[in-house]
Amino acid sequence: MTALQTTLGTPWLNITIFAVFVMITLVIVIRVSRGGRKGKEFYTGGAAFSGRQNGIAIAGDYLSAASFLGIAGAVAFYGYDGLLYSIGFLVAWLVALLLVAEPLRNTGKYTMADVLSFRMQNKPVRTAAAISTLAVSFFYLLAQMAGAGTLVALLLGISADLAQMGVIAIVGLLMIAYVLIGGMKGTTWVQMIKAVLLIIGAGILFFWVLGKFGFNLSDLMGAAAAKGNSETAGAGDKLLHAMSKYGTNKLGFISLSIALVLGTAGLPHVLMRFYTVPTAKEARRSVSWAISLIGAFYLFTLVLGFGAAAIVGMKTINSLPGKSNAAAPALAFYLPGAGTAGTVFLAIIAGVAFATILAVVAGLAITASASFAHDIYNAVIKDGKADPTSEVKVARATVVVIGVLAIIGGIAARSLNIAFLVSLAFAVAASANLPSILFSLYWKRFNTRGSVWSIYGGLVSALVLIFFSPAVMAPIGSTKPLASAMLPNLHWGWFPLDNPAIISVPVGFILGVLGTLTSKETNPEKQAEMEVRSLTGAGAEKASIH
């Protein structure tokens, strides 16, 4: 088992299974694509997916490598706090289900900005919404690309810098290929395939681990604690107690919870998925499918995490590259007995983890390119008069630019903490996007100034607070460098929390109210149209018929 000190299993087998996945999905993408030269085809796959298909794709889009590897690892090391973290990601979907998904489907066409600018002055609101969309998508994209680098070190035994950069570049190029060839239709298929593989893989591990402990959660937790205690006295007990991870930064965790529960329904790549179904009813069905799958998946990861702590042990996991992120793959390796079966099982799980990154980045790329082409190029630069063909051309060119930027950014960000980048994306989505979405849909008086203030206010306050937080720099007055920060030697920090949401979300809502009340603008005609459309679906975008 000496190989285990540097890597798990057999790298070439991991690579082969990954390559097989890439080939199968590429073939499917080519087969389902119809060129996607038309806007509707490229952006929404013709809005012709069923609710169930879209729900599976949403799960594929949402369950990133960070949630598969990150949450399983958090449970393996912090037990209870890992569960606490995953619940925010699930409960958040109720905001999408109850308040956002259906009205969004009924009032918009391709992007979040369609809805926000519906009854406002088009250009200022659309510009703001597009900037915020691009910011959120870019942070999320960086997190995924950086995650690809970490994953490679862990699963392929590649820790050399150049090789990691090479893998990040390959992920970026594959993403460009999926989106250019398949448009939204192809991307959706990649997400569906990946979601099914990921949930089946995690489900097998779940039943295997639970079966080992007689389907008794208490026994499993007890075994995890006992193993931890045998390695380091007291370490196992911590798994069963609250606040073993967040105990030192409670307010920071509450802030993170706000970002998670309010951020999901403001993530542009999630919102865009609601346009790929023909009706609001199907959008509702999508979310209920997504909630079932995502909920089941987080229950699986809870058992996976405790299983990894009980069967592999924290000490062994910590000795692997990737540390806590290695919990789920290590479990796949040790569960069948660390022999040939373990090697094969690990390779499958590793392949699924890679597939996860590809599906998520493709969804982000199509969202960002749609926002640039549809909102900025067509609506702002061309006054809404660009013909659909040239708009899609711009979108396709943007995909290439985004791919290249993501490769460069991913390489630069590969040492950054992935969870931090993801929580940043959620915080910006919750502060800049959600207030404006909810006000547009449910507050009659809301107007252009309110919307613009809310978006920019939420965005800027979130970014400024993050910049002066311990995640980026050392606090003012401290003398030692802060090793965990992005800029450990800069001592300008004045914001004490890692996550800005507890301040920046209220800022987004309050500025929305202030901006609205200080402006006299109203548009009763468009307000009536938006409200009636959002609830009845009259005049909503139809699916294209093939």
Residues near another protein (CB under 8 A) are 34-35, 37-38, 41, 80, 83-84, 87-88, 90-91, 93-95, 97-99, 216-219, 221-222, 225, 240-243, 246-247, 250, 253-254, 257, 261, 281, 284-285, 287-288, 291-292, 295, 298-299, 524-526, 528-529, 531-533, 535-539, 544-545
Of 233, 243, 234, residue with least CA distance to 82: 243
**What are the distances in angstroms from CA 484 to CA 153, 324, 416, 456, 470?**
20, 16, 9, 29, 8
Give the nearer residue to another protein in terms of CB position, either 243 or 401: 243
Provide, rounded to whole angstroms, the least separation between the CB of residue 343 and another protein. 32
Structure tokens at 163: 């090789």
Provide, rounded to whole angstroms, the least separation between the CB of residue 97 and another protein. 6
Structure tokens at 348: 């499958």
What whole-number distance in Å separates Cα of residue 162 and Cα of residue 142? 18
Give the nearer residue to another protein in terms of CB position, either 169 or 386: 386
Provide, rounded to whole angstroms, the least separation between the CB of residue 332 and another protein. 24
Residues 305 and 82 sit within 8 Å (Cβ to Cβ) = yes
Which residues make beta-bridge pairs with 493? 475
Residues 29 and 194 sit within 8 Å (Cβ to Cβ) = no
- DSSP letter string over 339-371? SHHHHHHHHHHHHHHHHHHHHHHHHHHHHHHHI
Task: Specify the DSSP class assigned to residue 274.
Answer: G
Provide, rounded to whole angstroms, the least separation between the CB of residue 499 and another protein. 13
Provide, rounded to whole angstroms, the least separation between the CB of residue 99 and another protein. 6
Give the nearer residue to another protein in terms of CB position, either 239 or 407: 239
Structure tokens at 148: 């690809």
Provide, rounded to whole angstroms, the least separation between the CB of residue 56 and another protein. 16
Which residues make beta-bridge pairs with 473? 487
Give the nearer residue to another protein in terms of CB position, either 151 or 210: 210
What whole-number distance in Å separates Cα of residue 474 and Cα of residue 463? 17
Provide, rounded to whole angstroms, the least separation between the CB of residue 316 and another protein. 22
Q: Which amino acid is at 440?
A: S
For 85-114, b where at least 16 C-beta lie within 10 A, e where not — what string?
bbebbbebbebbbebbbbbbbbbbbbbbbb
Give the nearer residue to another protein in terms of CB position, either 137 or 499: 499
Give the nearer residue to another protein in terms of CB position, either 389 or 518: 389
What whole-number distance in Å separates Cα of residue 272 and Cα of residue 259? 20
Give the nearer residue to another protein in terms of CB position, either 260 or 370: 260
Provide, rounded to whole angstroms, the least separation between the CB of residue 512 and another protein. 17
Residues 437 and 100 sit within 8 Å (Cβ to Cβ) = yes
Q: Which helix (H) or strand (E) holds 531?
A: helix 524-536
| Residue the block writes with tokens 């079932």 | 292
Of 32, 92, 134, 202, residue with least CA distance to 375: 134
Provide, rounded to whole angstroms, the least separation between the CB of residue 206 and another protein. 14
Task: Give the dihedral of Cα atoms 62, 177, 355, 50; nearest 10 deg.
Answer: 50
Give the nearer residue to another protein in terms of CB position, either 83 or 128: 83
Structure tokens at 97: 């289900």
Give the nearer residue to another protein in terms of CB position, either 441 or 463: 441
What whole-number distance in Å separates Cα of residue 373 and Cα of residue 395? 5
Provide, rounded to whole angstroms, the least separation between the CB of residue 302 and another protein. 8
- Backbone torsions φ then ψ of 493, nearest 5 degrees: -65, 135
Give the nearer residue to another protein in terms of CB position, either 18 or 300: 300
Provide, rounded to whole angstroms, the least separation between the CB of residue 152 and another protein. 33
Provide, rounded to whole angstroms, the least separation between the CB of residue 320 and another protein. 26
Alpha helices in 213-249, H assignment, sequence order: 217-231, 235-240
Give the nearer residue to another protein in terms of CB position, either 206 or 354: 206
Give the nearer residue to another protein in terms of CB position, either 28 or 240: 240
Task: Specify the DSSP class assigned to residue 474.
Answer: P
